[in-house]
Amino acid sequence: MTKMWKEIFQQPEALKSCIETNERAVREIADALNEADISSVVIAARGTSDHAAVYGKYIIEYKLGIPVALAAPSIFTAYKGTLKMKNCLVAAISQSGEAEDVLEVIKAANSQGAITLGITNFVDSPIAKECRFHLFTNAGVEQSVAATKTFTTQLASIAQLVAHWSGDENLAKMLKTIPENVSKVLCQKEAVITKVQRYRYMEECFVLARGINYSISLEAALKIQETNYVRAKGYATSDFHHGPFAMVEKDMPVIVFAPEGPSLKDVKEMTDKLISVGAEVIIVSNNDEICEMGNVSFKIPKTENDMISPFYNVVLAQMFACQLSLAKGLDPDRPRGLNKVTITR
């Protein structure tokens, strides 16, 4: 068994531990944010953590109506500039907590008196120590280069904070159902192992979603890139209409995340369009009708809204990427040219 596959299956327990660990901290942070009447948020992250930041941008703007910007750390490092962040929440997301350029964003924010928050998997990391507040993802040691459980626990940390910050008790309750439902997704392992064989010669693909799940299209594409060396590109379906669709050819694989909710109508329209040009459509959904439209499909649990479905979609994507790598005769634990911790400035 590969380390990546093993760590994918550790996610129910990791998510449970993460949510339980941060229950007190998120309430304290939410109280501080409400008292400060925060009017904007800046999130700094890289790689997989940046995709968690995209998820954070959507749910913060959706639940709280507060605009969120994704920081450009090179402004602080390469260009020696800064931003006006005094009245902001400035958050850093980093699995290792060692991202030097992300740390510089936090240092600049602290110098201006902003509220700073770190979300890391190491309580003694530089980012955790520098931030005023810290959320510990508590995912355990992750050995595979490809991030799995550290990513989903980052999502959980963000969603848990937003639930308390916005006073949404129903969202807080739904988060506690995620570990059990992720276990249900993992029960599809044999179906994934069988179905990925169809794509063992795949060299390129697109990955599409809309709204809050856009973050998952980006993360799924990255997982396929780094473990399979496939030219995968993630798009929002709304953007894919505007130019990129011209690249779709007959039999080209397109993975479509299509959970029930506000984004489903647009995603279904895109799926119809893909089918009309003969694309090879892979559907991940909890809607029976759209699942039947795919050449291949995978089911996820029912959800009340788009804030929860990303957890199930990304676990399915991780399984797909890992097993595709094995079908290609590759080692998903040791992607060429990559290390577990990448330090950028």
pLDDT at 344: 59
pLDDT value at 311 more than 80: yes
The answer, yes or no, to whether residue 213 has pLDDT greater than 90, is yes
pLDDT at position 320: 98
**Number of CB atoms found within 10 A of residue 61's CB:** 14
236: tokens are 């929002």
List domains and CATH numbers for the chain: 3-176 (3.40.50.10490), 183-327 (3.40.50.10490)
Closest CA to 234 of 260, 258, 212, 205: 205
pLDDT score of 271: 96
> Amino acid identity of 106?
I
pLDDT-based confidence at 341, cuts 50/70/90?
low
| pTM (global) more than 0.85 | yes
Average pLDDT estimate for 71-86: 90
Percent of the chain past pLDDT 90, that is, above it, reads: 91
Which pLDDT tens digit goes with each residue over 103-134? 999 999 999 999 999 999 999 999 999 999 99
Which amino acid would we find at residue 71?
A
Q: How confident is the model at residue 342 (pLDDT cuts 50, 70, 90)?
A: low
Phi, psi for 343 (deg, rounded to 5) = -100, 120
pLDDT tens digit sequence for 82-93: 899 998 999 999
| Mean of all residue pLDDT scores within the chain | 95
Task: With beta carbons less than 8 A apart as the criterion, state whether 137 and 17 touch.
Answer: no
Average pLDDT of span 46-50: 95
Residue pLDDT, tens place only, 268-303: 999 999 999 999 999 999 999 999 999 999 999 999
Kindly tell me if the per-residue pLDDT of 343 is higher than 60. Answer: no
Report in angstroms the alpha-carbon separations of 175 from 7, 56, 196: 20, 15, 30
Mean pLDDT of 148-170: 98
- Summarize the chain as % helix, strand, coil (round to 5): 50, 15, 35
In this model, does residue 345 exceed pLDDT 80?
no
Q: Please state the rounded mean pLDDT for residues 217-222.
A: 98
Mean pLDDT, residues 240-254: 93
Q: Give mean pLDDT, residues 26-43.
A: 96
Report whether pLDDT(340) > 60.
no
